[in-house]
Amino acid sequence: MQAKLNIVPFVSVDSMMKLVLAIGVERFLTELATYIEEDFRRWELFDKTPRVASHSHDGVIELMPTSDGHLYGFKYVNGHPKNTREGLQTVTAFGVLADVGSGYPMLLTEMTILTALRTAATSALVAKYLAPKGARTMTIIGNGAQSEFQAIAFKAITGIDRLRLYDIDPSASRRCAKNLAGMGFDITICASGQEAVEGAEVITTVTADKQYATILTDNMVGSGVHINAVGGDCPGKTELHRDILLRSDIFVEFPPQTRIEGEIQQLDGDHPVTELWQVMTGKAAGRTSDKQITLFDSVGFATEDFSALRYVRDQLQATGLYEELDLLADPDEPRDLFGMLLRASAKEGVIA
């Protein structure tokens, strides 16, 4: 795949779509969840830092780096809720996987589609540990770009097959239901958030507005449910009433990041939370009773993107769904970079 050191495999949006379709969406999500779980299980090997964020009035641009000592990965991602009004995506992303030994990149890929897939895969993976046993009904509040991925991931990984959809824009719910038609779901479009949560064992909130919001009020949440809080993912943006947090056992990816960006930014800095890696390795309990409210305060962490980059890299050889990108200068003599430029000018008949 990398016969020349200057050539880096590049997965475009078109190639990513072809890759997902060639593998199959459910299989892609299931296999990706396996990679994510593998990396959570070796959590202590990773360099970990909260994402580097540049906030503006319009949104945020972030870098999400991590390394396991052998590979290094990062993602560039933005979050601009206003973009939908201008016909643009709220979130776009690309990522790089590199060899720690040489520092050379091994993969450059789009990550707008891939981020939606890894977020959904992570949500469903966590629900495997935290959702009520045998859960089949999930509410999705906020039926934007992430909703179909969430639904399919939960079906593939946890067996969810009944969906209750609500969005302040009813056309978003209708679009989501249409996109999921024929995929094995029993779908109900609801007129309010209160109606949507009735009978649900899993509640997913995945709204886009960059503000403190109350998508779920305390009276909407009964005992025994699992809440998958995805939309509150930056400072000043939350979805749940604080009282829900006080009634829940809260599970997070990386506390120093989640306390800044997640639902728990509403709580005192020492409020107890459980890290996911501890649950997946058996160092901490997940769901312990039928009455327990479990809450995954999802903000997305760099190791999940790292897992996604690893997974995509491992699919390229068999599928060939990538382009060769001439990204790195590779002079015959490593110290003679200017000489490489001179030779190029002579070859082109140009005087440097």
CA distances from 119 to 51, 113, 185, 298, 352 (A): 16, 10, 20, 9, 49
Q: Which of 93, 102, 106, 99 is nearest to 51 (CA)?
A: 93
DSSP string, 73-110: EEEEEEE-GGGGGGT--S--EEEEEEETTT--EEEEEE
DSSP string, 4-52: STTEEEEE-HHHHHHHHHHH-HHHHHHHHHHHHHHHHHTGGGSB----E
| E strands in the chain | 7-11, 52-55, 60-67, 71-79, 93-99, 105-110, 137-141, 162-166, 186-189, 202-205, 212-216, 226-229, 238-240, 249-252, 274-275, 294-297, 323-326
**CB-based burial, 100-137: b 16+ in 10 Å, e otherwise:** eeeeebbbbbbbbbbbbbbbbbbbbbbbebbbbeebbb
The catalytic residue positions are 233
Cβ atoms of residues 304 and 124 within 8 Å? no
CA distances from 176 to 87, 140, 152, 224, 226 (A): 18, 10, 11, 27, 22
**CB-based burial, 303-315: b 16+ in 10 Å, e otherwise:** bbbbbbbbbbbeb
CA dist 281 and 338 (Å) reads: 52
CA distances from 262 to 8, 108, 211, 290 (A): 35, 29, 12, 25
